[in-house]
Chains A and B, each alone.
Chain A
């Protein structure tokens, strides 16, 4: 089966000054349906790894194949389309639009795919159902709890129908009980066949994955 993520010798150096080698010679594959966690101390390059995997940054060396396609050579508009269609993102700070309801925030996921408004709304409602927030559809992010906000963010990622879900410290802003709830949701999504890459610095969270990658000073190890 084609790996979802295939890094061979991927590195990223931020052009300084001084230049920062945030990711060096990373070679790793993530297969469909896998639940991979990435741990490492602060500043080790976890977010850099996620940005490269999520097509938000271009690697400065090596080859990255997403679903078997070499994406380093693609033009920006094609990378944008891939990002919108294959990859869902979940961030520590949720990144919800404050003046839009939960449904509207989730519906945004299909906007750039050119999906008509009504269909976007239907998809959004379904995605909110799936994360157990059917009763908070019309709430603004301001009145939602942290856990609920992160669920809305996950629903937004799910609405994209991605083949890969990238989460950067998804439980970072949540208390342990809420975090546990969210991790159960992630387990469930993995059970449904979604490929997950979860970045964390919490060993307990890391243990939920089938595989854990460690990153230290930009160097990635199994």
Chain B
């Protein structure tokens, strides 16, 4: 006998929906608080994620994979010795996650004269002579306009070769390489191997005549006033780790001679930009949800009182108190769920609309969208508990007397 008396979940849902459909206008008004609450929740998370996505995309993979190591010398200002060991590039290349790493410095020449021909005295004081390891050039992500870069063999043999930045080449009037042109620095010729059209890092290189470090060390002073730097390109996500290891890998005996500049952590950047705003709006969203819950509770309670007759009748037809409670609880939960669905959909539309208007990419984590109906249902469930209990406690005889 204890079995049998058991409407299926589907029946329960059917009864609940029928109950809601009886008073559509009231149901809609009751949902409003939940719609606002869940909508605000999804919209806030969606908009901040979208805005953060913009920060992220400006703060691209390029910056996120760049580490710079600067030679800051020792404690003694008179100590002008270079801090980078000769095998610096190899040491860093051995670290996990490093793609390219190389040392470069502006060659210490007081007033270099650059010319495309031996005698031609050109006034080119904007141009600089830079010594760079081939791997430093690679880390700058150059796009070649003509020719090629020098390689390790040129560098190792200290050959007089050079690569020109596009702007430098323009100033010098060197546009084609088929005549094997040379650039003269204080009269010394360097064969131009290639012209760099553009770089993604170290834009100064475009205004430079770039020679291998080996060549620079043979012909000129080592760097002293403007010290050497190292440019490291890492794999995505490895920058922080590489940055933390670089100084020690270069000079286990004196890691303090370097300053390592790592890209800012994108996570903390995003959090910093949006954190304060987020918590304020989420608070507002929670308040709307509470208001929504109170609305549902209130309406459900009124419905219970209004439908006392119906409750009595259902008890006559064999409903247990539990069935009555379940019906009203299902109604309020369905109300909350609907509110969450509507709120979530409106919010998604708002986020997408904003993104389209601003020419942004809408970023919506699936869980935030899925959370809206879940939160709505939760609100409805909690709000429905007291009215449902009240309904279950109603005595059938008393209910029918009215």
Contact = CB atoms under 8 A, between A and B. Distances in A.
Interface of A: 47, 51, 54, 56-57, 76-78, 80-85, 87, 89, 91, 95, 97-100, 108-109, 111-114, 116-117, 156, 160
Contact of B5 (A84, A87, A97, A117): A84
A80 B2 contact: no
B316 A111 contact: no
Given A89-B316, A111-B7, 13 more contacts: A51-B397, A56-B396, A77-B2, A77-B5, A78-B1, A81-B4, A81-B318, A95-B310, A111-B11, A111-B15, A112-B6, A114-B3, A160-B318
Q: Which 4 A-B pairs have the closest CB atoms?
A: A84-B318, A112-B318, A56-B397, A114-B6
Interface string B310-328: 1011111111111100000
A91 B318 contact: no
B18 A80 contact: no
Given A47-B401, A56-B397, A99-B18, A83 B1 contact: no
Contact of A76 (B8, B22, B320): B320
A54 B316 contact: yes
Given A56-B315, A56-B400, A77 B4 contact: no
B4 A80 contact: no
Given A77-B2, A99-B22, A112-B5, A160 B317 contact: yes
Contacts of A51: 397, 400
Nearest to A79: B320
Q: Which secondary structure dominates chain A's binding surface?
A: helix
Nearest to B310: A97
Contacts of A99: 18, 21-22
B354 interface: no
Contacts of A117: 10-11, 14
A80 B315 contact: yes
Given A56-B397, A95-B400, A112 B8 contact: no
Given A95-B400, A114-B6, A83 B11 contact: no
B11 A80 contact: no
Contact of A85 (B2, B8, B318): B318
A156 B314 CA distance: 12
Contacts of A78: 1-2
Nearest to A51: B397
B7 A112 contact: yes
Contacts of A57: 395, 397
B20 to A, nearest CB: 11
Residue from B14, B310, B320 with most neighbouring chain A CB atoms (10 Å): B320
Contacts of A56: 312, 315-316, 395-397, 400
Contacts of B14: 117
Contacts of B2: 77-78, 81
B317 A112 contact: yes
Contacts of B21: 99
A80 B322 CA distance: 11
A159 B4 CA distance: 16
A100 B319 CA distance: 18
Residue from B2, B18, B313 with most neighbouring chain A CB atoms (10 Å): B313
A89 B321 CA distance: 18
B245 interface: no
Nearest to B7: A111
B387 to A, nearest CB: 19
Contacts of A91: 400
A83 B321 CA distance: 13
Nearest to A156: B317
